[in-house]
Amino acid sequence: MGDLSGQRVLVVGGSSGLGLATAQAAARLGATVTVASRSQEKIDAAVGAIGTGAEGRVLDTTSDAAVEAFFAGGTVYDHVVVTAAQTKAAAVRELPLADAFASMNSKFWGAYRVARAAPIRDGGSLTFVTGVLAIRPRKGAAIQGAINAGLEALAQGLALELAPVRVNAVSPGLVVTPLYDRMAAEARQAMYDRAAATLPAGLVGRPEHIATQILAFIANPYATGSTVYIHGGSALV
């Protein structure tokens, strides 16, 4: 995958799930990793899981002032990954507008704020995590599909605007993450089993599967303006 020794990697949303897996993978390749999240408790746990050299900082990407202050210190990153998002899904006529606005503010505008403010070295990279609903719509999740599609279009536009910084998007399908810990264990496992039975890949994604593609974008100097779908074939069935 490449040697990241001497490079600084920021993972926004790196305290759990896909973000934590990405931070751990980058650290194993020698990067100096910073994880950013809204929860100091989760940050502390993530830094401990990543190991020596990792650091964490609190960041609320829904706040203009917080994002600007976070990047005001002058640190220039080699690579920035944005996985942070809190969204709610329901049918458009049922989802309260406040929840729709908040979902857009968290995932789309949060990534937009980071892209606007983060100092990234020439030849470095910015990677968004989107989702397969951008190309495989589902009833009751129109807002999430629209947000993901918007982020993928934003990545393409930023690949032109921010060049020679490279900008890409990784779009996962169903992945086993703490997002689903709110479900009863039996119901959660049944959901995973049903999904695995229908997917061409025959399994549900793991955070490390998505981290592998993010690290590939970081390492490949020819990759920019691209979206790669890592969904186990869910867009095909």
Q: Where are the domains positioned within the chain?
A: 8-175+207-228
More confident residue, 190 or 25: 25
Percent share of the chain, pLDDT over 70: 100
Name the pTM for this structure: 0.95
The 10s digit of each residue's pLDDT in 205-228 is 999 999 999 999 999 999 999 999
CATH of 8-175+207-228, one of 3.40.50.970, 3.30.565.60, 3.40.50.720, 3.40.50.300: 3.40.50.720
Beta strand ranges found along 130-237 (DSSP E): 166-172, 227-230
3-state DSSP: the chain helix, strand, coil percent, rounded to 5?
45, 20, 35
The 10s digit of each residue's pLDDT in 84-143 is 888 998 999 999 999 999 999 999 999 999 999 999 999 999 999 999 999 999 999 999
